[in-house]
Chains A and B, each alone.
Chain A
Amino acid sequence: MDHKLRTGAGLSGIVLGAGALAFGAFLSNRHRNRGQDNSPNYTKRQPEGDHAQVGRSVTIRKPRSELFTYWREFQNLPGFMENVEAIDESGADGVFTWKIKAPAGRHVDVRTEISSEKQGEHIAWRSVEGSDIATCGEVRFKDAPGERGTRVSLVMSYDPPAGALVRAVANIFLREPQVQARHDLKRLKMLMETGEIATSVRTRGETRAAKQETE
Chain B
Amino acid sequence: MRALTWHGTGDVRVDTVSDPEIINSRDAIIKITSTAICGSDLHLYDGVIPGVKPGDVLGHEFMGEVVETGLGSNLKKGQRVVVPFTISCGGCFHCKQQQYSACDNSNPVEKQDMSATLYGQPMSALFGYSHLTGGYSGGQAEYVRVPFSDVGPIVIPDHLDDDQVLFLSDILPTGWMGAENADIQPDDTVAVWGCGPVGLFAIQSAIVMGASKVIAIDHYPNRLALAKQLGAQTIDFRETDVREALMEMSGGIGVDAVIDAVGMESHGFAIDNMIDVVKQKVGMGFDRASALKQAILAVRFGGKVSIPGVYGGMSDKWPLGAMMEKGLQIRGGQTHVQKYTEDLLAKIEDGTLDTTFLISHRLPLEQAAEGYKNFKEQQNEWTKVILKPGMEN
Q: Once the chains are docked, how many angstroms separate the CA of A214 from the CA of B359? A: 48
By a CB distance below 8 angstroms, the chain B residues around A193 are 89, 91-92, 104-105
Q: Does A196 contact B (CB under 8 A)?
A: yes
Alpha-carbon distance A67/B18, docked complex (angstroms): 38
The A-B contact count (CB < 8 A) is 78
Contact status of A200 and B105, CB under 8 A, knowing A148-B93, A193-B89, A194-B89? no
Could you list 21 A-B pairs, sorted by A, with CB under 8 Å? A61-B92, A61-B93, A147-B96, A149-B93, A189-B105, A190-B109, A193-B89, A193-B91, A194-B92, A196-B25, A197-B24, A198-B24, A198-B107, A198-B109, A199-B24, A200-B134, A202-B21, A202-B57, A203-B19, A203-B23, A204-B21
Report chain B residues within 8 Å CB of A203: 18-21, 23
Of the candidates B24, B72, B104, B145, which one forms a contact with A202 in the assembled complex, judged by CB atoms under 8 Å apart? Answer: B145
**CB closest chain-A residue, reference B70:** A196
Q: Is residue B333 contacting chain A, with contact meaning CB distance below 8 A?
A: no
**B109, A186: Cβ atoms under 8 Å?**
yes
Determine the chain B residues whose CB is within 8 A of the CB of A204 once the complex forms. Answer: 21, 23
Interface string of B98-112 (1 = CB under 8 A from A): 000000111111111
Residues from chain B with Cβ under 8 Å of A59 in the complex: 93
Q: Are B92 and A199 in contact (CB under 8 A)?
A: no
Contact A198 B20, beta carbon cutoff 8 Å: no
**A182-215 at interface with B (beta carbon < 8 Å):** 183, 186-187, 189-190, 193-204, 207
A195 vs B92: C-alpha distance when bound (angstroms):
12
B48-74 vs A, CB cutoff 8 Å, 1 = contact: the mask equals: 000000000100000000000000100
**Residue in A147, A187, A196, A198 with the greatest tally of chain B CB atoms within 10 Å:** A198
A179–B117 Cα distance when bound, in Å, is: 12
In the complex, the answer to whether A202 meets B137 with C-beta atoms within 8 Å is yes
Chain B interface helix/strand/loop/mixed? loop
Question: B223 interface residue, CB < 8 Å from A?
Answer: no
The residue of chain B having its C-beta at the shortest distance from the C-beta of A62 within the complex is B91
**Residue in A closest to B145 when the chains form the complex, CB atoms:** A202
B110/A183 in contact, CB under 8 A: yes
B196 within 8 A of A: no
CB distance from A61 to the nearest CB of B (A): 6
The reply to whether B105 and A190 contact each other, CB–CB distance below 8 Å, is: yes
Closest to B27 in A: A196
B45 on interface, CB distance cutoff 8 Å: no
Which A residues have a C-beta under 8 Å from some C-beta of B? 59, 61, 147-149, 179, 183, 186-187, 189-190, 193-204, 207
B11 at the interface (CB under 8 A from A): no
B18 pairs with A187, CB closer than 8 A:
no
**Nearest residue, chain B, Cβ from A184:** B109
In the complex, the answer to whether A61 meets B108 with C-beta atoms within 8 Å is no
Shortest distance between the CB of A118 and any CB in chain B (Å)? 26
Q: Is the CB of A196 within 8 A of B96?
A: no
Asked if B24 and A189 sit within 8 Å, CB to CB, the answer is no
Chain A residues within an 8 Å CB radius of B20: 202-203
Which chain A positions have C-beta within 8 A of B110?
183
Q: How far is the CA of A198 from the CA of B87 in the complex (A)?
A: 10
Q: Which residues of A contact B93 (CB under 8 A)?
A: 59, 61, 148-149
Chain A residues lying within 8 Å of B17, measured Cβ to Cβ, are 202
Could you tell me if A200 and B111 are in contact, using CB atoms closer than 8 angstroms?
A: yes
CB <8 Å contact, B108 and A198: yes
Lowest 8 CB-CB distances: which A-B pairs, in order?
A196-B24, A200-B136, A193-B91, A194-B89, A200-B135, A186-B109, A190-B105, A202-B20
Least CB distance, A205 to chain B, in whole angstroms = 8
CB < 8 Å neighbour of A194 from B19, B91, B112, B113: B91
Q: Does B26 contact A (CB under 8 A)?
A: yes
Most chain B CB within 10 A, of A59, A61, A193, is at A193
B147 within 8 A of A: yes
Interface centre among B57, B106, B109, B145, by most chain A C-beta atoms within 10 angstroms, is B109
Please name all residues of chain B whose beta carbon is closer than 8 Å to the beta carbon of A148 when the two chains form the complex: 93
Tell me the bound Cα distance from A193 to B92 in angstroms.
Answer: 6
Complex Cα distance A185/B109, Å? 9
Q: Is the CB of A199 within 8 A of B105?
A: no
Contact present for B113 and A179 (CB under 8 Å): yes
Chain B residues within 8 Å of A207, by CB: 23
Assess the A189–B23 pair: CB atoms within 8 A: no
User: How close is B300's CB to chain A, nearest CB, in angstroms?
Assistant: 37
Interface: B125 (CB within 8 A): yes
